[in-house]
Amino acid sequence: MKLKVIIHLAEEGGFWAEVPAIQGCATQGDSMEELLTNLYEAVEACLSVDLEQIEISKNDRVMEIAV
């Protein structure tokens, strides 16, 4: 999966970024390296779903796909 990310200079120093394709997905970092690390974590967290909170019947299937 490839996602476009918008990186901004933070007024207080460092950077912050948002992922427009994932509503509410944003993070920050003091350096570009820290920002990239935090971006991977933020995207994973924004896309993760707790299946225990979703009602799944015996006829349903859970499938993980890569895009």
Summarised one tens digit per residue, pLDDT across range 53-65 is 788 888 998 888 7
Domain that holds residue 48: 6-53
**Whole-number pLDDT of residue 41:** 96
Element at 33 (helix H, strand E):
helix 32-47
User: How far is residue 14 from each of residues 3, 18, 23, 41, 55, measured CA to CA in Å?
Assistant: 21, 14, 22, 18, 42
Say whether 46 sits in a helix, a strand or coil: helix
In this predicted structure, the answer to whether residue 26 has a pLDDT above a threshold of 80 is yes
In a domain, 36, yes or no: yes
* DSSP-assigned letter for residue 36: H
In a domain, 58, yes or no: no
**Domain total of the chain:** 1
In this predicted structure, the answer to whether residue 49 has a pLDDT above a threshold of 90 is no
Q: What is the pTM of this model?
A: 0.75
Q: Are strands 6-9 and 26-29 parallel, antiparallel or unpaired?
A: unpaired
